[in-house]
């Protein structure tokens, strides 16, 4: 490529090199990061390998080459071959089924159906003491009569950024005495012992995907009481039939992950996007739009599109949906009822049929 540029004028040569650099740099940077991070995480060895790849990839594009490889097509072919080798290796990396998982994701849930009865094993019901890592670990098995499924709730948990958050759902079953029993499902990154979550690691196959089935006193309370997160709850407008379909889809996804583990991805396979995919399947593209990806903005989108009730200002809606202080004050036995003293209903709309923004 350099030899080709030398035969041109200085401006054309500079433009040619800039164009090549613009095409070469993003892909090479991605490949370099993939080598450094996937799948074991960055360390001296992986960074050395990544630096070696970057230097090797620079030669076909900008460095001296043997006479037979100096022609532009040969240089392009060498660069493409290097990129293809890394990309092919990356996409073929299998997600691990077994590892030394962190305690809160150590067990993967299973769901079995017997007619209308669903039995969920591996329900997390930790009793936290002083922090989210100091807990009595409890894993339980419970059965649910799907004919008594009445409600679906959607939670937004904000740990800092306002544009992104953690989403999870909770299903409510009516007991014979009229009281309600909830079971929450949280789609999370399954971390190995010693790992901490990072957005960069979430892009480069550091974590696998897991559907955590949990008691609300665990999955909600750990966020409000021990992680200092702000949590909002919305009642999803759904018939019992549609609620059952959603529950069964969650169960199917859970079982499929048990037999075919998948990598967590901070963009294409995460807590918010996978909720949409579980509900609408192929209606959600592989690479979501910013409005889908920025799940911290879903509340405002729903309010602007008239999909929340009762009618209120946006700030009033947020105050009503905020259950943080209710959760902190709730007694364990009364926890689920305590965080449902106020109600905001949310109507979900399939991505392809959402009304235009500012519909209010």
**What does the pLDDT look like over 185-210, one tens digit per residue?**
999 999 999 998 888 899 999 999 99
Instruction: Kindly list the domain boundaries of the chain, sorted by start residue.
Output: 2-91, 103-353
Bond before 39 cis per omega within 30 degrees: yes
pLDDT on residue 359: 43
Question: What average pLDDT score do residues 255-280 get?
Answer: 89
| CA 197 to chain centroid | 12
**What does the pLDDT look like over 165-175, one tens digit per residue?**
999 999 999 99
Residue 357 reports pLDDT greater than 80:
no
pLDDT on residue 283: 66
pLDDT on residue 163: 93
Question: What average pLDDT score do residues 75-86 get?
Answer: 87
Question: What average pLDDT score do residues 157-179 get?
Answer: 95
pLDDT on residue 246: 95
The full 3-state SS of 199-217, as one line of letters, equals HHHHHCCCCEEEEEEECHH
**What does the pLDDT look like over 13-42, one tens digit per residue?**
667 667 767 778 899 999 999 999 988 888
On average, the pLDDT of the chain sits at: 88
Residue 65 reports pLDDT greater than 70:
no
pLDDT on residue 77: 83
Residue 62 reports pLDDT greater than 90:
no
Residue 10 reports pLDDT greater than 90:
no
pLDDT on residue 7: 53
pLDDT on residue 331: 93
Distance in angstroms (rounded) separating the CA atoms of residues 225 and 209: 25
Contact assessment for residue 142 and residue 119, using Cβ atoms and an 8 Å cutoff: yes
Is residue 149 classed as helix, strand or coil in its secondary structure? strand
**What does the pLDDT look like over 225-262, one tens digit per residue?**
999 999 999 999 999 999 999 999 999 999 999 999 99
Of 16-25, 84-93, 326-335, minimum mean pLDDT range: 16-25
Which residue in this structure is represented by tokens 């969920």?
120
Is residue 131 classed as helix, strand or coil in its secondary structure? strand
pTM: 0.86
Q: By percentage, how much of the chain surpasses pLDDT 70?
A: 88
Distance in angstroms (rounded) separating the CA atoms of residues 268 and 265: 5
Question: What average pLDDT score do residues 329-342 get?
Answer: 95
| Residues 6 or more apart in contact with residue 146 via CB below 8 angstroms | 116, 117, 118, 244, 247, 248
pLDDT on residue 102: 97
Distance in angstroms (rounded) separating the CA atoms of residues 215 and 219: 6
Residue 4 reports pLDDT greater than 70:
no
Of 71-75, 83-87, 340-344, minimum mean pLDDT range: 71-75
Judging by DSSP bridges, how do beta strands 208-214 and 180-190 pair with one another? antiparallel
Q: What is the secondary structure of 258-288 as a DSSP string?
A: HHS--B-BTTTBSHHHHHHHHHHGGGS-SS-
pLDDT on residue 183: 98
Question: What average pLDDT score do residues 143-152 get?
Answer: 97
pLDDT on residue 38: 85
């Amino acid at each position: 490529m350099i030899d080709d540029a030398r035969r041109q004028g200085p401006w054309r040569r500079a433009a040619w090199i800039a164009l090549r650099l613009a095409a070469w740099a993003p892909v090479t940077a991605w490949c370099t990061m993939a080598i450094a991070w996937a799948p074991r995480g960055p360390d001296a060895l992986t960074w050395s390998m990544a630096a070696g790849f970057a230097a090797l990839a620079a030669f076909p594009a900008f460095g001296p080459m043997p006479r037979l490889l100096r022609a532009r097509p040969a240089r392009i072919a060498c660069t493409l071959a290097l990129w293809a080798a890394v990309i092919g290796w990356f996409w073929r990396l299998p997600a691990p089924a077994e590892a030394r998982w962190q305690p809160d994701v150590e067990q993967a849930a299973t769901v079995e159906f017997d007619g209308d009865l669903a039995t969920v094993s591996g329900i997390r019901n930790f009793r936290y003491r002083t922090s989210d890592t100091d807990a009595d670990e409890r894993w339980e098995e419970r059965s649910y009569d799907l004919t008594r499924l009445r409600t679906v709730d959607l939670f937004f948990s904000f740990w800092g950024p306002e544009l992104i958050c953690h989403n999870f759902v909770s299903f409510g079953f009516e007991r014979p005495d009229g009281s309600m029993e909830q079971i929450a499902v949280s789609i999370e990154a399954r971390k190995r012992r010693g790992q901490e979550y990072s957005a960069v690691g979430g892009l480069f196959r550091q974590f696998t995907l897991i559907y955590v089935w949990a008691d609300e006193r665990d999955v909600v309370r750990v966020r409000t009481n021990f992680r200092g997160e702000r949590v909002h709850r919305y009642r999803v407008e759904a018939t019992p039939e549609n609620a059952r379909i959603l529950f069964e889809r969650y169960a199917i996804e859970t079982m499929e992950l048990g037999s075919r583990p998948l990598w967590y991805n901070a963009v294409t396979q995460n807590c918010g996007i996978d909720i949409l995919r579980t509900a609408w399947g192929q209606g959600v593209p592989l690479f979501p739009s910013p409005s889908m990806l920025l799940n911290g903005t879903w509340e405002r989108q729903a309010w602007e599109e008239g999909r929340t009730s009762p009618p209120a200002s946006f700030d009033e809606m947020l105050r009503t949906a905020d259950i943080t202080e209710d959760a902190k004050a709730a007694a364990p036995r009364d926890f689920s009822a305590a965080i449902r003293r106020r109600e905001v209903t949310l109507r979900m709309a399939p991505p392809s049929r959402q009304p235009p923004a500012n519909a209010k």
